[in-house]
Structure 1
Amino acid sequence: MDIFAEALEWLVYYCIKRGSVQSIRSWETYGRDAYDYFAFIEANNLDWRSINSRTENRLLAVYRDASMSQFNVGATTINRRLGLIIKFYQYACNRGWVSTLPYELQDVIVRKPKQFLAHTDTSGGHKMRPDVMLKQSRTQIKVLNGEQIADLLKATRDKTLYLMVRLALSTGLRKEEILTFPFKYVINPASTSARSHIVVQLNPAEMNTKGSVPRSIHVPVSVMSALWNYVIHERYQLLARQVTPTDRLFVARHGEAWSLTAKSFNNQLKRLNLPFHVNPHMLRHTYATHTLKSLRQKKGLGFEPLLYVRDRLGHTSITTTERYLHFLHEIEDDLINSYQQEIDAICEEII
């Protein structure tokens, strides 16, 4: 139970001093990942500094293989942990704690960007990559098609859960953003001149956003109207059971705020017993993919659909949003070009 001074110094530097990692949840993840590696080293009587000999130079490879074969950790998680530990060793080398690095760099072929980003690629299709990293298959984005969206909404009887799902499908908000969405953001659409959507500014001082970065979302008028009715009726009645009401929009059955650490949102979706899997992040993927497809089918927009979706989702890099281009074929129904019109029609049918 002694303090690991070197790891602590590096974490303070990496998470706080650099200023580029603003999410406290990311700090926790990095701490856990670092602990997993160094606990493994200690449990196997190894020394993280001894990387000069031929045997000890395989420290990261031994950890990688044990994670995969003994502990059944997935390739994505293993690579995330390895990437973090590699950064630690780079810092340790600069600080003089170690004299060399426990890996070598190898030249690998990378996928070139497509669409309008192609001209920005200067890699020549190659990059240098640590040789200990696992080859990782491309993550398959799970997207609901129109029929599945209809089944999901029809099966959701609870009013609060129903509106949480609808808001996620209509804006692409993350799970934590849905759960901490302030009720003050909900307004009466009749008091505005908006015809299609209402711009809502997400303030990280008032709700959780990834990296505490502010951004704007476009809430369809029909969705805002449903949320306004929820605030006036259902939410008001639920809050009557609480001595200290929450300022969050969505409340649980006894009027309390939804937990950010528990999996209540996921579990409620699971209890719907749908013939397909669904979780909060799939709703975000669904919004992104359907919206991107709908906008790309329209002529004369005057703006790039990919940039629009990027800004709504709050991605820091356009390449993150670009991955949705490769999954447009997952959408099976082409009967309605407008994604939001489709959701509105489904909801009107349910009501």
Structure 2
Amino acid sequence: MPSAVHWYRDWSRGTVGNAPSTVNARLRLICAFYEWCVAHRHVDELPFDFEQIRSGRPAGLLEHLKRDDDRIKRPDLLLIEPRKLPKLLHRDQVATCLSELTNETHRLMFALMVRTGLRHEECTSFPLAYVFDPDKRASTRDKRLLRVHLSPKDMDLKFSKPRAIDIPADLMSDLWWYAVRGRPKRARMVNPSELFVSAKGGRFRPSSVTSLFEALQARVGFHVRPHMLRHTYATYTLMALRQSQYRGDPLLYVRDRLGHRSVSSTTVYLQLIDQLATELLQSHEHELAKLFAGVEE
């Protein structure tokens, strides 16, 4: 007979209609409680078994996973959670957003995130000291991409993990001219260490970034959020590297630029590439259908 925990799982999913992720989050807590009961001899045995699965991602808080190299043990009553693909912007949507951002500071922040994969808190804390004129340095004068090393001592980085990003040379030039001409107009009073400053001359707050993208979304008419720019960068960069003569591993390159702990977190963008290819094929077939719509047999 199914245990009470199994019955609770089926009731939560079938009768109540909770999402698998919601059900699993509650089940993990229940399973942890049962293990505590067994350890303290309040009950004789667990009302569930364990199964081994392969996973490359690190266990998080209350994951309730027992790890053995690349294999983990988890309660067998957990539901399968379909992995949601991250949302990204298409090229024409990126162009639309840039054209709608008439504020120079906002436009450059958007460009830096979508062309380097920076998180929004990393963009708003991006140091002024990292910006330079690529035409004035012999080592960067003819390069298309400029390697910039990010340090948690200088800016906000997730997990305080240093990494390197590649900034396109034309974007670095724009950032330099903004630092020389546009930024001083805003930073006369406060003059913080960050490159981007608000209208009052201070650092951008998270709420300000949220408001910025909400206003942008209202103008362009489609969904756009800061993290979508990171997904857009990762997907199109991975696609370009796979189609080019890049000698290294495209997945490892994108992983390092994004600062992922494991390459398994980066593989999700392979599915986005397949999705884009399908959409492009469908669009091509639609255009052909319109061409031949008026042709008589």
Q: TM-score, normalised by structure 2?
A: 0.74
- Tell me, in whole angstroms, the C-alpha distance in 1 between the residues paired with 2:45 and 2:164: 43
**Worse-superposed segment, 312-321 or 323-332:** 323-332
Deviations 1:148-198 (A, max 9, x none): 111111111111111111001111011211121111111111222321121
Give 5+ residue unaligned stretches, structure 2: 57-68, 282-297
- Counting aligned pairs with the same residue, the percent is 36
Tell me, yes or no, if the aligned pair for 1:60 and 1:82 is still in contact at 8 Å.
Answer: no
Per the TM alignment, residue 100 of structure 1 is displaced from its structure 2 partner at its CA by: 6.6
Tell me, yes or no, if the aligned pair for 2:115 and 2:167 is still in contact at 8 Å.
Answer: yes
Of residues 305, 308, 318, the one that matches 2:263 is 318
| Cα gap change, 1:109 to 1:246, in 2 (>3 Å) | same
The alignment status of 1:212 with 2:157, answered yes or no, reads no
Partner of residue 109, structure 2: 164
Partner of residue 7, structure 1: none
The alignment status of 1:285 with 2:228, answered yes or no, reads no
Of residues 143, 155, 158, the one that matches 2:100 is 155
Tell me, yes or no, if the aligned pair for 1:108 and 1:128 is still in contact at 8 Å.
Answer: yes
Of residues 173, 176, 190, the one that matches 1:225 is 173
The alignment status of 1:196 with 2:144, answered yes or no, reads yes
| Cα gap change, 1:214 to 1:80, in 2 (>3 Å) | farther
Per the TM alignment, residue 93 of structure 1 is displaced from its structure 2 partner at its CA by: 6.3
- Tell me, in whole angstroms, the C-alpha distance in 1 between the residues paired with 2:41 and 2:105: 54
Deviations 1:253-285 (A, max 9, x none): 11111113x2x2232122122221011110000
Deviations 1:296-316 (A, max 9, x none): 0012x2201111001000011
Of residues 211, 231, 234, the one that matches 1:267 is 211
- Tell me, in whole angstroms, the C-alpha distance in 2 between the residues paired with 1:187 and 1:97: 65
- Tell me, in whole angstroms, the C-alpha distance in 1 between the residues paired with 2:203 and 2:26: 33
- Tell me, in whole angstroms, the C-alpha distance in 2 between the residues paired with 1:167 and 1:227: 9
- Tell me, in whole angstroms, the C-alpha distance in 1 between the residues paired with 2:178 and 2:26: 43
The alignment status of 1:253 with 2:253, answered yes or no, reads no
Quote the RMSD (CA, aligned, Å).
Answer: 3.5
Is the partner of 1:206 in helix, strand or coil? Answer: coil
Match of 2:201, as an amino acid? G
Is the partner of 2:199 in helix, strand or coil? Answer: coil
Matches within 5 A, 1:322-337: 322-331=267-276
Per the TM alignment, residue 81 of structure 1 is displaced from its structure 2 partner at its CA by: 6.3
Partner of residue 8, structure 1: none
- Tell me, in whole angstroms, the C-alpha distance in 2 between the residues paired with 1:182 and 1:197: 19
Match of 2:152, as an amino acid? P
Aligned length: 259
Tell me, yes or no, if the aligned pair for 1:174 and 1:280 is still in contact at 8 Å.
Answer: yes
Is the partner of 2:149 in helix, strand or coil? Answer: strand
- Tell me, in whole angstroms, the C-alpha distance in 2 between the residues paired with 1:85 and 1:250: 46
Q: TM-score, normalised by structure 1?
A: 0.63
Of residues 236, 242, 248, the one that matches 1:296 is 242
| Cα gap change, 1:122 to 1:166, in 2 (>3 Å) | closer
Match of 2:261, as an amino acid? T
